[in-house]
Structure 1
Amino acid sequence: MKNMLKGLGAALCVALPLLAQAPADAATPAGAGAADQALVQRGAYLAQLGDCAACHTAPKGKPFAGGLPMNTPMGRIYVTNITPDAQAGIGGYTEADFARALREGVAKDGHNLYPAMPYPSYAKVNDDDVKALYAFFMHGVAPVQQANRESDIKWPLNMRWPLMFWNMAFLQKGAYRDKPGKDVAWNRGAYLVQGLGHCGSCHTPRGVAFQESALDESGSAFLSGALLDGWFASNLTGEHNSGLGRWSDEDLRTFLKTGANRHASAFGAMTSVINNSTQALSDQDVAAVSAYLKSLPPVGGNGAPAYTYDPQATKVSLDRPANDAGARVYTAYCMHCHGVDGRGFAPMLAPLAGNPNVLAKDASSLINVTLNGTGDLVINGVPSPYPMPGFAAVLDDKQIADVLSFVRAGWNNGAPAVGAAEVAKLRQSTQAGR
């Protein structure tokens, strides 16, 4: 990994992939009086908007008690307890302590949090919302006396002091301010996307110090797509092929509420976002997010002409699969769900023709989901009936490369081919420890 500053680089580089660790604190829990229940409920909604549970609740664990393991090249860390338990959690935090940790990445005892806790985005959260979040975590979450586990990151890579310099360079303090000339819905959407929604944390490319290349629409790279942990987080700008350029407002609102529409289905980390966060948004907030995202000009893409559907050449290959290695794999393993026409059975089964994830220049997500499948979308408590299965144990690297190259060329998709070496690399990184 690249360094920002010599002498600081090793500690800083390991910092960014890791989750923030809150200290155990023996102080008396804050807010002894009865909490304003309306404020607590508002905080609960905001915590869903921020998708706090995705990181701070382990599978089969108690809400917000931490314990979720994360593997890094330097060792394993464990997500921490943010319940109001005074010893193991954040029960000793005052509202000011909480606000500082949330928006500045500095814990109660003064140590710096790793920026994988998306405080560069949360810096934009306004005071009223911070107050509501604090009320929820102190009075709407059950305290859990589950001790935090120490990471096995060894010295000197576990040092945090270099993060002070990272913050000086990249943290922009100050809550979001409405942009003049924009309407209420646009500004609300911008506040949600840039702040608690922290969409840029995944969907914006990183610089050499692993900082987000842009924090709002004033930067051309903002939400243009980025590689993260073996997935390519999609382009959310108006780019015609790999972005949202062909999506209507209704398409986008449907996707945020259900994780699927006529263009694509959620997979990878986005499944958790849909399950834990966006499906719970109010219709007004979903409309605001859509209004903001649909306003972003096109950026990125693979340089191909604007996509138009054409099934003819692909149909010929599927009629004679013996002549095409990718067509053979497709007819055997893929066609019954995604169809001869590549249009699948949306939204139940994702289309491949014109799917933005198929058209993206980076094929990492396609390789990853083919190898490992994806978790269930769970909408209103009901799991999706047809999750994508993994084929790592069924298909070798060449077969996966062949079928994905076929799909990326098929139905006039016109995306670059996939090599077996790309598949082998992701197989190794994603299958480790399984």
Structure 2
Amino acid sequence: MNKKMGWRVMLAGLLAAQCGLAVAAQFSDQEVQRGAYLARAGDCVACHTAPGGKPFAGGLKMVMPMGAIYSSNITPDKTHGIGNYSFEQFDRAVRHGVAPGGKYLYPAMPYPSYARVTPQDMRALYAYFMQGVTPNPTPNRKPDMVWPMTIRLPLAIWNWLFVRDTVFKPDPKQSAQWNRGAYLVEGLGHCGACHTPRGLFFQEKALSANGPGGKLYLTGGTVEHWYASNLRSACLQKTLSAQDFALLLQTGSAQNYTVAGGMTEVIHHSTQHLDHEDLLAMGVYLKSLPSETSAQVAGTQPDPAAVQRGKALYDQHCVACHQPNGQGVPAAFPSLVANPSVQCINPTNAIHVILAGASTAVTASAPAPMVMPPFGAQLSDQQIADLVTYIRTSWGNAAEPVSAEQVKELRRAIASH
């Protein structure tokens, strides 16, 4: 009897091992590699990896209007990750925002954009996360919210109101290159999640340029006290060509424009790894979007005394890097002349950089970032307002002056984050 039981155990173990090998071998290397590329395009690692944590093991804190949530473990660990997900469950979570068991995900997960992803690409992503990612047993962390904000059923209503369950369909009137760019920008790239303004219920006011509210798509949004640029602004569209957009996504800098804030992480983790053809396609699509009819022109003239005070501060703190003429040093310190971040209607980024400092994107071509030191501790609100006003109204720049109250509000917001 014991011998029979032993043989049965051995046979069961052998069958289990064979089944395990069959599961492990169900995806081709090519499919897994394609999924890895698509995961890069979707920038999955950025949100699903905590500082100092293992890739895709979750735990990154994200502050939302109703409290803080933590990204989930999306490794194929069968206890704490997604190792037990079927493809259908994976697809429903990524594209519809509903996890197994009917658990609704918070819309910090950009599933309204991922709804555009094709079934073929979803299967490649599934192959990568099941077979190309190392399992990690990190437990998921519960949200830091108080009841009733922890009740997720209202998210079903939110999805019904604001999510369009529509896979991307190519526009026959456009080129294959344009359609590829639109697919990446609107779908996996989820550019609108940051660059489109949000409404009262945290919804993106538009999910594409052609859908409802399309005029608002990619017209700018606020993310962690940075301004995600209006990609359709006249100053940006005038400055950057399709090739420049591609270069910006690859390196973080093009013409007189250098990214800052969270966009440096997007470039580091995601867009620098994309093929040039895909980056150029995204540039072609972005360049095709209707832009504002005129560039930003200051309607309020700056106080001459404020400009003079700002010039004195510039000569003291900024001139060594950005030069007396504001032209900066190529490949080192960005020019402030005709710089969209400087001339943008919204002055948030110019103020933020001076208050808290910034660094350029870490890329394969520039592994050592250039760092802008913070001046928030050295300069008062009025001094920073004067300095930003001087930069925004000098060397041909013609943007609105900045007030000390604007600086004060942003300083307070950054300190409380």
- When normalised by structure 1's length, the TM-score is 0.85
Matched, 1:262 2:246: no
Q: Give, as a single letter, the amino acid of the residue that structure 2 aligns with 1:266.
A: V
Q: Distance in 2 between matches of 1:415 and 1:37?
A: 53
Q: Give, as a single letter, the amino acid of the residue that structure 1 aligns with 2:23.
A: A
Q: Distance in 2 between matches of 1:181 and 1:323?
A: 50
Matched, 1:193 2:177: no
Aligned pairs (5 A) from 1:330-349: 330-349=314-333
Equivalent pairs: percent with the same residue?
45
What residue number does 2:406 align with? 422
Matched, 1:253 2:246: yes
What whole-Å deviation, never above 9, does each CA across 1:250-303 have from its counterpart, x for those lacking one?
A: 322211111012221111010001101110110110111111111111138775
Q: Give, as a single letter, the amino acid of the residue that structure 2 aligns with 1:215.
A: L
What residue number does 1:166 align with? 158
- Relative to 1, partners in 2 of residues 1:357 and 1:376: Cα closer, same or farther, differing over 3 Å? closer
- Relative to 1, partners in 2 of residues 1:397 and 1:431: Cα closer, same or farther, differing over 3 Å? same
Q: Distance in 2 between matches of 1:185 and 1:284?
A: 8
The worse-fitting range, judged by mean Cα deviation, of 152-161 and 342-351 is: 342-351
Matched, 1:364 2:348: yes
Matched, 1:240 2:230: no
Tell me if the contact between 1:261 and 1:347 (Cα under 8 Å) persists in the aligned partners.
Answer: no
Q: Which has the larger radius of gyration?
A: 2
Tell me if the contact between 1:29 and 1:86 (Cα under 8 Å) persists in the aligned partners.
Answer: no
Indicate the structure with greater helix content.
2
- Relative to 1, partners in 2 of residues 1:296 and 1:201: Cα closer, same or farther, differing over 3 Å? same
Tell me if the contact between 2:359 and 2:370 (Cα under 8 Å) persists in the aligned partners.
Answer: no
Offset, 1:162? 1.0
What residue number does 1:409 align with? 393
Name which of 122, 125, 138 aligns with 1:133: 125
Offset, 1:352? 1.0
Unaligned 5+ segments in structure 1 are 1-27, 306-313
What residue number does 2:357 align with? 373
Q: Distance in 2 between matches of 1:76 and 1:165?
A: 21
- Relative to 1, partners in 2 of residues 1:170 and 1:271: Cα closer, same or farther, differing over 3 Å? same
Q: Distance in 1 between matches of 2:217 and 2:274?
A: 23
- Relative to 1, partners in 2 of residues 1:196 and 1:323: Cα closer, same or farther, differing over 3 Å? closer
- Relative to 1, partners in 2 of residues 1:182 and 1:63: Cα closer, same or farther, differing over 3 Å? same
Offset, 1:356? 0.8
- Relative to 1, partners in 2 of residues 1:376 and 1:251: Cα closer, same or farther, differing over 3 Å? closer
Unaligned 5+ segments in structure 2 are 1-18
- RMSD across aligned positions (CA): 2.3
Tell me if the contact between 2:248 and 2:254 (Cα under 8 Å) persists in the aligned partners.
Answer: yes
- When normalised by structure 2's length, the TM-score is 0.88
Q: Distance in 2 between matches of 1:356 and 1:429?
A: 23
What whole-Å deviation, never above 9, does each CA across 1:73-108 have from its counterpart, x for those lacking one?
A: 654332221111111111111110010011111111
What residue number does 2:266 align with? 273
Tell me if the contact between 1:301 and 1:361 (Cα under 8 Å) persists in the aligned partners.
Answer: no
Q: Distance in 2 between matches of 1:345 and 1:251?
A: 19
Q: Distance in 2 between matches of 1:76 and 1:31?
A: 40
Q: Distance in 2 between matches of 1:254 and 1:386?
A: 17
